[in-house]
Each structure stands twice: as structure tokens, then as C-alpha cells.
Structure 1
Amino acid sequence: MSSDQTTTHVVIGGGVVGAATAHALATRGERVLLLEQHGRGHHLGSSHGATRIFRQGYADPEYVALTTRALERWDALETASGETLLDRTGAVDHGRPEVVDAIAAALSDAGIPHETLTQEAAAARWPGLAFEGHVLAHATAGRIRSADAIEVFLTLAERTGLAELRFDTRVTGIEDHGDTVTISSTEPDGTVLRTTTRSVVAAAGSWAPALVGDLLAARGASLPAIRVTQEQPAHFPSHLADDAWPSFVHYPLDGGDVYGLLTPGEGVKVGFHGTGPVVDPDARDFTAVPEELKRLQAYVARFVPGVDPTEPSPISCLYDNSPDDDFVMDRRGPITVATGFSGHGFKFAPLLGEMLADLATGGAPHPRFALA
């Protein structure tokens, strides 16, 4: 059984970037069909879970500026939805002096209030954490209610009357006809849907290279090598009240990056950044590597004294990593691609949705995120 239709835009992917893009297009008066291969709010990609960090603590001035633009849009999304999506817990960075000092300089240049603290002052303020190296805090940061945010994007898109959302609908092929593409997808009841459009946005994260990599190459544009990894942070039971926890990022003196934040009702999430094994996003085992879990527990026992390191609840999530950790967002003909969010894209979601809507409606790409 098959069905043919046309629409103005097709967004592939119902995670945070796809949801934000569908919302941005629909609120501009554009008709959009969103196709998601899994269920609404699924846990099989990069966007699931109740919390994500919002922070402006980048050493790169361009990303700092993007966080400011994103923060304005989070505020606007809260106003439009009537829901709290960002809890302003503040954030603390500590560790390697050259990294923390570069973040402080970038925040200073951007006029973003922040403060430097001694390790002793930081430990007194946040007794759940232990500190090393230099310490920096900024109050504009906090905790995104990530599952709620995705649902707000989807719900507000639906309310426009211009967005059709189809879940458990897997894209099985995209045919490039020059000015248009035809997308074949299979619905839960086995119906094959063929949709012709002048604009498809492949906002499918780890799946985007397989969906459109060859199509872009045929148009002379190469995606960078996207490395898909299965990361394994864990929640740890907290000994402290919820308001004792900022979002935190640690740059250990002996290398690597660690992040953490409270997930209310679940514990304090702590994870190594970008250290997981390479996986096929369609063939994951969702199982924590025992040695890595032990290493995470040892880290927590040393640097997160406010939790019980002996009772981890492992989490499995995907990273789609670009070689330089920059985002990849560009358009060729009717094909727009969004991938390479490298474990730090969620905080920018409402801004990314607008940037991709710009591309889908004929706008120019951000030079830093454009394809070669």
C-alpha cells in the first residue's frame, strides 16, 4: 500500500534539532512534514533524557556569542509556551588554568558577568564538588528541561496548523530530481509514503550522513567524517538538596573533560565528554563498558563528594562528532543537512532551529558550519 503527497518542507528527525526546525518553519507560516523513525520522545538518539546543561562558558568567542543568541530564544520559548524550560542554577568550570582562563577572557570580552574563585571558596559554596586548578562561575547558566523542551517545540509547531508530525515512520530513500527530492518512508502500518518537496532538512544527527551523504557528494559537497560514539554517563544519588547543585564542567589537570548536573528525581549526572566507543546508531548494545564505569566511579569518588559513587545508574546516549567539534549545517539544492553536534548542541536548539529554517527558505549558511 502506498501514498503520494507534496509539501513545502520535510524535516527528517524528531530530536531537539528537528523539532526546533519544524517549530521555526511552522511559526514562519511554512508548511512542514516531520518524519521521525522512532516514537515521540524516544531514547534511541542524542536528545533523550530530562536535563541538559546550558552554559556560556566557551573559550571561543563565536560560540559565546551564539550562546547569548540562544539564551534570548530560550526566554522567548518560555514566554510562548508558558513553561519553565531553563532553571538558572549557574555553572562552575574548574581545572586546567589555560582553559579556564581562556573561558574567563571570552566571557569578559562578551560582557557576560562571571567571577573567579579560590578552590576553598568554591568548595564552601558548592560542597558537593571538589575543585582543582582555576575556578570560574557564571550565573546565566543552568539546566535545560530537555524532554520538556522537545515536547514544547513539537506542540507549538502542531498548534500552528501547518506542521504534520509522523512518528515511527522510517525514511527508506531519497531521490534527487534536481530542484526537488522525493522521500520514501514506511509508516507503522506498512504504508509506503512518497513525499515530493523542494526542501528536505536532514536533522537526524548520527543518521544524517547515511541519509544524505551520498546525495551531497553527488552535488560536489563533502560532509566531514562524522564519528558516532556511544557515551555512558551515569546518575549518582545525591546527599544534598537540589539547590546545592550547579551545572559543572571540569578540565582535569591530567587531561580530558568531565561534565555534570543534577537531574531532579534521578540524581547527579556525571560523564566523560566524548570518550565512548564508535558504534552504528542502528546496532547499539546500550551497555556500559565496565572499565569505563569503574573509571567514572573513581572520578566521582574524588571530585563529586556530594553523591554516592557506589550506586551509579548508567545512561546510554549518542554523540555525532565532527572532527573539530563544530556543527555542520548547510544546504545544496533542496537538501539541507544538520549533524556534528558533538555533545554540545542542545543548548543552542532554538537558535539552530531558526538557522536551519533560514537555510531551508533560501538563506545563507553560517560560514563556520558550511560544507567544504
Structure 2
Amino acid sequence: MVRKRDLPAIEGGRPVFRKKFTTHGFGLYLYGKEELDNIKAVIRAKSPFRYYGVDVQHFTDKFEKAFAKMCKVKYALGVTSGSAALHVSLGALGVEKGDDVLVTALTWISDGFAPIWCGARPVIIDVDPDTLCINPEDVEEKITKETKVVIAVDYFGYPADADRLMEICEEHGVYLLEDASHAHGASYRGRMTGGLGHMAAFSCQLHKIITSGEGGVVTTDDDELYKRAYRFHDLGMFYHKQPFVTVGFQYRMTELQGALLYAQVKKLRKIVSGNRKAAKAIERGIKKEVGKGPIFREERDVKQVYYGLLMKPDWGNLEIESEKFIQALAKEGVEVWKVNKPLYKADALKGIAKVPYAGEVCREAEKAYREWFALPVYPGMKEREIEGIVKAFTKIYKYYSRK
């Protein structure tokens, strides 16, 4: 007979957390005096626009320089959002009507929309079953003479296999665009995200590693690509100076965004270190309690930043499937993030994206959507929160394990 304290809440037991435990991002938990002082400085100066005003504080310039230094690249360009960063990058890379852009099946919708905004067509690629990042073998199979760009998402803070992808791209004369929206401060074989492809796009939305509520960054080492990106994001101008050389959009970062992000980028190491500490503690706790059944992504050639602790329980050893497991965790007060639904399932992309719509199109992505989810982590996570997550997971896992 199961003791009351060992009974999952979904089966009538007592929940581990009385209040729902969730996270709303990462960098925001380190918001403090620095962010407030920078915002006050912008307001006192009455200069929220980056290029001119009463007394411009140049926070956006400072942030861009600090971010480029962190990524170990020449250039960083602040923009209004991660979606804008993708659009600007593809625009700079010359993506246009008739082109194909290869996109991973597991990602946010913006990776599917950005090629369309340029008149191109997204081609959906399956994921690696171990990392859930874009699968280089599937890229090699799907690449054609129409392919202009491959977008590699550093999924849930885990860098994609950039060396293999770059090898394929160079062989076919194709650009590699890194979507590092989950992965500020991560590294791959000693190289920082933001410098793994020809260009990279970051998001600084609320849930991201560093945040200004909304915002984005484009990075590159290439002088010409930087100039093109700059003109694309500022109505065809370079450093906001006429003439209007090309058609462009208006994706300029404000000084208020720059002020927050300049404070945040200085805290990036602390944010990443805090995420890693919390994630490793939860992983160790679960392995200690339930053994080696659950699968976590191994850090082979990478240092991930843990945009959540992505994991897959040993479903073959459990009497329930993922939906019930996630519901059971919710009853314990633990809210988890599921991996993204495969991109081609979005109604908006049907008939546009280059994939058939019958059956399992990307087998590994479909399987990952059914089996993987992420436990919450954040920098500064309290010991009792870590212990609570381990306890909730363990209680459910042991109760539903096949006897």
C-alpha cells in the first residue's frame, strides 16, 4: 500500500508545492539597481532614441559592443525583437523570392515566418534525436540549388552541430544562420554562440537568457553582411545617415531597451552559471532517486545554458505517457515546458512550407514532441525549490513505474 505522502497529487495525494511553481525567464530574476539606474539615466536625459536627442546616453551602442565582445565577433546590431533579428539576417544574406531556407522542425514560429517575409519558402528539416537540434544528415539530404540559407536553432540553450553544418553549407555555397535565441553565453567546441555561422540572431524577449521585455540582436564577423543588416534594419540607411541606399525596414532598438540590455549583458555569466547550477542539481537529484532511466542531453562538445532542463523519462518503464506525466507534475505544482509542436503543424504554414502534410513528416521531431519536456530552472533557484522539483518528479516516476 502506498503511503499518503508518496501518493501523487493527481491520485489524491498532497502536492509538493502549495502554490504553482513556474519561471518567467532567466535574466529578469537578476533585475536590480543597474537596470533601474540605466533606465533612470535615459529618462533624465529625455533621450529614448539612440541616434539623437537632448542628451543621448548611448546605451544601445555600449550594449552592442559588449555583446559582440561576449560572442567574440566584430559586430552586434540591436533590433526590436528576435523575429526582427531573423528577418534582418535573411535580408542581409540576400534571401528573396524563389529561394529556399532550411529550418528545423522544432522551433518558434518566427523561424518559419522569416523566410516568407523575404518572399522565400521554408523547408522543414528533422532534428537529431539526442540533441533535438537540426539534423545535419537531413540538411544534406534536403539541400538543393534553390537553397540559400540553413537556419540552425540552438534548441533550449544547446548549440547545434555548427562544424558539420558549416561544412555542408560551404560545399553547396549556402549561408549558415544561427538562431541563438535560447543560447546567449553557450559555447560549442570552445567557440561562443553568435559566432558559429555566417550570421546569428538572438531574442531578448521576456523568457530569454537576457531580457528587455522585447528585443533582439544580430551578430556577424563579416563587414559587408553587417552593412547590409544595418541598412535593412534602418530604412536603407547606414548609421542613420541618408541617402536611402536600399529598401529597408524600421527595426531600430530604443535606448530604453539598450539600457536594460547593457545592464543584463554584464550579468550574463552569473545568469548562465546560476542556470547550470540549478539544472545540474535537479539532474543529480533525479538520477540519485530513480536511477539512469530518464535521459538528459549530454554535453559532448558543448556548454549549454539550460533554457530549461530538457529531459525524456524512460517511457518504456512507465505505465503512463507524457501528457499524463505533465498533468501529474502540474498537480504537484510544477509547471513544465513542452518542446515545440513541429513547425509544419502550424496552419499558417500549410501550403507554403515545403513539406507534405500526411503522416509523420519529421519522425524524430514528432517523437520528441510526444516524449520530451523541460523542467523549470532559473539563476538563484532556492534549494527548497530544487528539492521540491526532484521530489515531485520522483514521486510520480516511482508510482507509475512498471512493477
> Which TM class, normalised by the smaller chain length?
under 0.3
Superposition TM-score, scaled by structure 1 size = 0.26
More helix by share: 2
More strand by share: 1
Superposition TM-score, scaled by structure 2 size = 0.24
Please say which structure displays the higher CA radius of gyration: 2
